[in-house]
Structure 1
Amino acid sequence: MFTLKVSEEVRKACPDYVGAAIYAKVTNSAHSEGLWKIIGEVSAQYKASHQIDEVKKNQHILATRNAYKKFGKDPNRYRPSAEALCRRILRDLPLYRIDTLVDLINLVSIQTGYSIGGFDAGKISGNELELGVGKADEPFEGIGRGILNIEGLPVIRDAVGGIGTPTSDNERTKLSVETTELLAIINGYSGREGLTEAVDYMQSLLREFAGSDGGEVVYF
């Protein structure tokens, strides 16, 4: 497991923040029919019970949006990933089909409202990670987004630089079908409430669909 820290800048602005890191040995796959059956059911239930203007009222999405505002970022231009996924469902846009690990993480985000970073642990530089705030002109290549302006976004950094924000993770450490070591970070800007349940849910999905024992969990 990695050593994880929260910078003073983030701690001062977001004193309620609690992160949960799950490190797990996994077997990834290009597609899981069983997982997508669950995703389809959850998406249908979500669409039937929500309106699009309600998405940002979810306590975890709202807390992440408020963190963006505190750091000077417009959450309507740089939406947290959980919010973006839920909005896709309500707009009748198909969810992305990437691979089993990414799809699994997206399912947890839809169910809970947490924006979750998913990283290939073997591609992370060093053993220490810190949650800070993106700086002007800080290099960051978002997955499928090209160069992303992360100034004012919360960002997880390794020894080389940023690897993940609640809006997008970095190409450098992205998951692939070849990934055998997963590091998932659940960003709890709303505090501890609901975080343990999200961790338990992700671990159960990892056991069922990714050949894992659920992995090791650290709160920070």
Structure 2
Amino acid sequence: MNEVKLTVSNEILRVCPQFCLSAIRCKVKNTPHNNQLWEELEAFSAEFRSRYSMEEINKREAILATRQAYKKLGKDPNRYRPSAEALCRRIMKGNSLYPIDTLVDLINLVSLKTGYSIGGFDLDQIRGNLELGVGMAGERFEAIGRGLLNIEGLPVYRDEMGGIGTPTSDEERTKITAETTHLLMIINGYSGRKGLPEATSYSVELLKKYAEAREITIFSSTEF
């Protein structure tokens, strides 16, 4: 598998000194749909609607911290919502999530449960190492399913070819597809380390259960 080193820029650490991440690298088998996983996701969605109100979503610790990082970088989190918040709001509106494929559905479930905005990438499409920095004016970023996204002021992971992931959306070039066999999953803790180990363990459990994950390597930000 592609050996990727991850670093966090001083630009990010200045506005969010508590930032931590957890990254999972593994071999996987993606499938178009997994009924058991989808039932688990639907069951959690129903539970979520019974526990939260729309007004409480952006006060969840991980979501709130991501929004605060956006504001400090000059980005409006109501216009460019973190993906975890967008997923939660969709559920609260009574709308079902769109099934994509097993890996993406799995990542969405973890994001919903934890409030973390999670990057899911085809590791074989990443070129060189990754650094988490801040988007620049005019920087090209083709967001998955939504076209060109203005990432100026957004936290963004870049490889040697350009941006591949923000908390709002990932990029088309490195997205998960039916052909993905090597996964890089990055859990972004703008709220700090608290909760990251549990989210990582849960992610690995799901990856083993639904995507036949093997050769699993886990990194924390302190190791980068």
Classify the TM-score, shorter chain: over 0.9
CA deviation after TM superposition for structure 1 residue 192, in Å = 0.3
User: What corresponds to 2:188 in structure 1?
Assistant: 187
Name which of 69, 72, 86 aligns with 1:84: 86
CA deviation after TM superposition for structure 1 residue 93, in Å = 1.1
CA deviation after TM superposition for structure 1 residue 12, in Å = 1.1
Q: After the TM superposition, which residues 52-63 of structure 1 pair with which residues of structure 2 at under 5 Å, given as runs?
A: 52-63=54-65
User: What corresponds to 1:129 in structure 2?
Assistant: 130
User: What corresponds to 2:101 in structure 1?
Assistant: 99
TM-score (norm 1): 0.98
Equivalent position SS for 2:170: coil
User: What corresponds to 1:161 in structure 2?
Assistant: 162
CA deviation after TM superposition for structure 1 residue 121, in Å = 0.3
In the alignment, structure 2 segments of 5+ residues that lack a partner are none
Are positions 1:204 and 2:205 aligned together? yes
1 CA distance for matches of 2:168 and 2:206? 23
CA gap of 1:75–1:214, structure 2 versus 1, over 3 A, is: farther
1 CA distance for matches of 2:17 and 2:172? 30
**Root mean square deviation, CA, Å:** 0.7
Are positions 1:27 and 2:29 aligned together? yes
CA deviation after TM superposition for structure 1 residue 16, in Å = 0.2
CA deviation after TM superposition for structure 1 residue 197, in Å = 0.3
Q: Is the 8 A contact 1:206 1:214 kept in 2?
A: no
1 CA distance for matches of 2:177 and 2:90? 23
CA deviation after TM superposition for structure 1 residue 214, in Å = 7.0
1 CA distance for matches of 2:80 and 2:204? 28
1 CA distance for matches of 2:17 and 2:98? 33
Task: List structure 1 runs of 4+ shifted beyond 2 angstroms.
Answer: none
